[in-house]
């Protein structure tokens, strides 16, 4: 019971933080880095993944020291393109994979990630239905058979005439 209550408290706290950030109650006078409630891992995790989180907050959370927080920011459909571009070079594979799978990642970032050294990241790019056909054609010739096969399948979905 105590664990459940603690979970509800964290969700309520995250909702309050998001509401305050969205409404402007927490302005520049209350920097995110110094806010005690944002120091809580669970609250940062929930805020980073919430589509109502303001873009400025997502930009700050994109530099979090914890990979899970950065990954949640990369997954968020409201993350600004400039932040996704920055995160495409993140040292963590899961963060780059999340950028590759984000439906709002622009073609130039997908192009960069299509050349990633990591197979999982390239697979994530090949799986993104918003990818330009020319990148998929290149990935269809990838050295990794799983990436190549995924690119061919996505190509058939995106451009049935080309496949």
**pTM value > 0.85:** no
Domain range list for the chain? 1-79, 80-163
pLDDT for 41 equals: 83
pLDDT for 148 equals: 98
Q: Which contiguous run of DSSP H or E holds residue 43?
A: helix 41-49
pLDDT for 42 equals: 84
Give the number of other CB atoms < 10 A from CB of residue 8: 10
CATH topology of domain 80-163: 1.25.10
The b-or-e profile of 33-56 (16+ CB within 10 A means b, else e) is eeeebbebeebbbbbbbbeebbee
Which parts of the chain have pLDDT scores under 50?
1, 3, 6-7, 28-34, 37, 163
pLDDT for 80 equals: 96
pLDDT for 158 equals: 82
Q: How far is CA 146 from the centre of its chain?
A: 23
Q: How does pLDDT run across 80-110, given as a tens digit for each residue?
A: 999 999 999 999 999 999 999 999 999 999 9
Q: 71 and 95 in contact (C-beta within 8 Å)?
A: yes
């Amino acid at each position: 019971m105590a664990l459940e209550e603690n979970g509800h408290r964290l969700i309520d706290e995250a909702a309050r933080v998001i509401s305050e950030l969205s409404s402007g109650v927490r302005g520049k006078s209350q920097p995110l880095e110094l806010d005690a409630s944002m120091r809580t891992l669970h609250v940062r995790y929930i805020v980073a993944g919430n589509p109502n989180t303001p873009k400025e907050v997502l930009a700050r959370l994109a530099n979090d020291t914890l990979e899970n927080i950065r990954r949640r920011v990369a997954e968020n459909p409201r993350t600004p393109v400039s932040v996704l571009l920055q995160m495409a070079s993140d040292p963590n594979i899961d963060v780059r994979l999340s950028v590759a799978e984000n439906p709002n990642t622009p073609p130039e970032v997908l192009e960069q990630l299509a050349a990633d050294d990591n197979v999982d990241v390239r697979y994530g790019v090949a799986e993104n239905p918003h990818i330009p056909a020319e990148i998929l054609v290149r990935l269809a010739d990838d050295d990794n058979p799983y990436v190549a096969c995924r690119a061919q399948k996505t190509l058939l979905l995106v451009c049935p005439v080309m496949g």
